[in-house]
Amino acid sequence: MNHRRPLFITTAALIATGTLSACGGSGSGTTTSSSSSSTAASGGEQVAVTEPWVRATAPSATTAAVYMMLKSENTDALMGASVPSTVAASTELHETTSTSGTSTTSMSGGSTTSMSHTSTTAMLDMKQVMSIPLPAGRGVQLAPGGYHIMLMKLAKPITSGEQIPVTLRFAKGKTMTVTVVGRSE
Ligand SMILES: [Cu+2]
């Protein structure tokens, strides 16, 4: 005898995405496990590049930031990049660091007037880095607020949808060229 009754299954498979915080590592990249949609390097290289893009720029801009996800099978490092001179004169590897500091400016006038102005601002500082380390098997994100490739002295503004060949140079001497797409966001 079979009693057929509807069976309700409540699927509560909520995947809690934990944030791995790498303590003590200054400027370590965000780890993302995403192995799909990668651009394989030519010549059997072992660095995967995912979703390379460059921020579209205002007409007056002289620099532009290039972002992507890099994942190397072996320990490696991004040492530099280059673009055609019709795009930009040079490139630099940059890291954006935010220092949220409180700055207090006190002004004491000659008389009895005294003014104090306190402002809390998240200050974004970009500094040039000589290389971006790529730990074996770990994705390193070049993203807003972190590492990026800075195009210096733009020959012309970067437009949305524009495609730019960017040649990446790695520590072990290999190079690979990826197509970076302009995005306005
Ligand atoms: Cu920069």
Cα(74) to centroid(ligand 1), Å: 26
| CA gap 178, 185 in Å, rounded | 20
Burial 11-35 (b: 16+ CB within 10 A, else e): eeeeeeeeeeeeeeeeeebbeeeee
* pLDDT value, residue 59: 94
| CA gap 163, 159 in Å, rounded | 9
Mean pLDDT of 8-18: 35
Mean pLDDT of 99-113: 55
Mean pLDDT of 3-23: 37
pTM of the predicted model over 0.75 = no
Cα(127) to centroid(ligand 1), Å: 7
Cα(36) to centroid(ligand 1), Å: 28
Q: What is the pLDDT of residues 84-96, one digit of tens each?
A: 999 999 999 999 9
Q: What is the pLDDT of residues 164-184, one digit of tens each?
A: 999 999 998 899 999 999 999
Higher-pLDDT residue of 118, 11: 118
| CA gap 60, 156 in Å, rounded | 9
CA distances from 101 to 20, 42, 91 (A): 25, 45, 29
* pLDDT value, residue 6: 46
Amino acid in position 28? S
* pLDDT value, residue 12: 35
Cα(37) to centroid(ligand 1), Å: 26
Cα(113) to centroid(ligand 1), Å: 42
Which of 146, 162, 113, 121 has the alpha carbon at shortest distance from 26?
A: 146
Cα(6) to centroid(ligand 1), Å: 59
Cα(93) to centroid(ligand 1), Å: 7
* pLDDT value, residue 25: 33
Cα(5) to centroid(ligand 1), Å: 63
What fold characterizes domain 47-102+121-173?
Immunoglobulin-like (2.60.40)
- Residue 149 has what DSSP assignment? E
3-state helix, strand, coil in the chain (%, to 5): 0, 50, 50
SS3 158: coil
Which of 140, 132, 22 has the alpha carbon at shortest distance from 71?
A: 140
* pLDDT value, residue 119: 57
CA distances from 82 to 7, 18, 74, 153 (A): 60, 36, 23, 13
Cβ atoms of 181 and 53 closer than 8 Å: yes
First to last CA, the chain: 63
Is residue 1 predicted with pLDDT exceeding 80? no
